[in-house]
A and B are shown apart, each in its own frame.
Chain A
Amino acid sequence: MRTEALVRAMAADAGPVRPMWRALLAAVLAATVAAGGLFLLAIGPRPDLGAALMRPDPALKQLFVVASALAAFGASLRLARPEVAAPGGWGWALLAAPALAVAAFWATAAGTPVALWPTRVAGHGILPCFAGIGAIGLPILVATLGALRRGAPARPGLAGAVGGLLAGSAGACVYALYCTDDSPMFWGVWYAVALLAMTATGWLLGRRVLRW
């Protein structure tokens, strides 16, 4: 087939295209509502949710995961473009959540006797934290990678990693509504570890499935 013929066929297939941001937003929201909704229906949010979010530590925890999700959304959208090899300004935005976690961790640690540090860091449930963020985050990761596949990332691994952070953060936004381990010495460590694990998973999968 001559190239002009192919061009004619492609032109006949013209149609309004859905912009990437809308495809990614729809995928992440739908998966978060589905997976997170199922989790909350099965286990339920913490009983004191409304009152807890008025206290600084739970509010900071929620802010940490929301900030991480927003920055990861912007960065993965940017990295889905073929001419872009670095997150640019979104790279700085990605640092906001870790900076918040480190600051909250040290502020809390400074006011806590050293003998109590291990108890605070251990909290009540490290394993439930991993299992919860993973269980909600992995379906969201599938949806995120599905949306990013419609993009054209110059660096599939990097785009997948940030997509993993996005999915993990969205999952953690829901999990934090249930989790009662509010000390920054807990979530500053274990939420961060869970998000790093999701980032690594996204990187491994992205290298394979986001190639085009």
Chain B
Amino acid sequence: MGRHADPPLEDLLRAANRGDARAYGAFLTAVTPIIRAVARARGGGLGPETCEDVVQETLLAIHDKRRTWREDAPLRPWLFAIVRHKVVDTFRARGARVHVDIDDFAGALAAEPEPDPTERADAERMIARLDPRSARIVRAIGLDGASVPEVGASLGMSEGAVRVALHRALRRLASLRREMVE
């Protein structure tokens, strides 16, 4: 497995917080299986689709709170604190009481990555509640793999305007999820 040869998560998030999108993508891709393993270990009884909702909600929280990681602090306690908080919180909001402890993370780090379950209806419903232009931007970049300049060209927007709209759309998605479960 190449995991040990990959750059440490610290390096990735440090670069990401300075604006490196490629490092940020690698960071999120690397932490997704960890979050998924914790969610499944704790809430597997609720089905893989609910677990995947929890994974996505946790990723959105990491996105929103990445400024709170201090570059001179170890990354894992920070990451695990966010994951534990969001996993417990989102399962509770769905009526399930779960408890996450540090052993779950040891298991998660050792686990083989599990596949992403099929398309999530929830997330699609949430995107549909964005304004049409924001929804198009999120779909184009997320599903079609378009770049920000490409989206700008196809929608007749400047790159900066696409970035701002994407940023707002992600924040809105996070708050829509909170509203939905509360």
Contact = CB atoms under 8 A, between A and B. Distances in A.
Interface of A: 1-20, 23, 80-83, 150-152, 154, 212
Contacts of B142: 1, 5-6, 8-9
B82 A10 contact: no
Interface of B: 16-25, 28-29, 32, 36, 52, 55-56, 59-61, 63-70, 73, 77-78, 80-82, 85, 116, 118-120, 123-124, 127, 138-139, 141-143, 145, 147-148, 163, 166-167, 169-170
Contacts of A20: 67-68
Closest 5 CB pairs of A and B: A11-B25, A5-B142, A83-B81, A9-B142, A14-B21
Given A13-B163, A82-B81, A152-B82, A7 B25 contact: yes
A29 to B, nearest CB: 18
Contacts of A5: 142-143
B19 A3 contact: no
Contacts of A3: 32, 36, 52, 55-56, 59, 116
A111 to B, nearest CB: 47
Given A2-B119, A6-B142, A8-B25, A81 B68 contact: yes
Given A3-B52, A82-B78, A151 B25 contact: no
A80 B78 CA distance: 12
A16 B17 contact: yes
6 contacts: A10-B28, A11-B24, A81-B78, A82-B81, A152-B81, A212-B65
Contact of A150 (B32, B67, B120, B138): B67
Given A19-B67, A23-B67, A9 B141 contact: yes
B141 A8 contact: yes
B59 A10 contact: yes
Contact of B70 (A8, A9, A14, A81): A81
Contacts of B23: 14
A143 B77 CA distance: 29
A83 B85 CA distance: 10
Main secondary structure on A side of the interface with B: loop
Contact of B166 (A1, A7, A9, A150): A9
A2 to B, nearest CB: 5
A10 B67 contact: no
B166 A17 contact: no
Given A1-B119, A6-B123, A9-B166, A14 B16 contact: yes
Contact of A154 (B24, B81, B139): B81
A154 B145 CA distance: 35
Contacts of B166: 9, 12-13
Given A3-B36, A6-B142, A13-B170, 14 more contacts: A1-B56, A3-B116, A5-B142, A8-B145, A11-B24, A12-B141, A12-B166, A14-B20, A14-B21, A14-B23, A17-B67, A82-B68, A83-B77, A151-B67
A13 B65 CA distance: 13
A10 B85 CA distance: 20
Contacts of A212: 61, 64-65, 85
B65 to A, nearest CB: 4
Contacts of B82: 82, 152
A10 B63 contact: yes
Contact of A1 (B29, B127, B148): B127
B168 to A, nearest CB: 10
B24 A14 contact: yes
B101 to A, nearest CB: 15
A17 B60 CA distance: 15
Contact of B68 (A12, A15, A151): A151
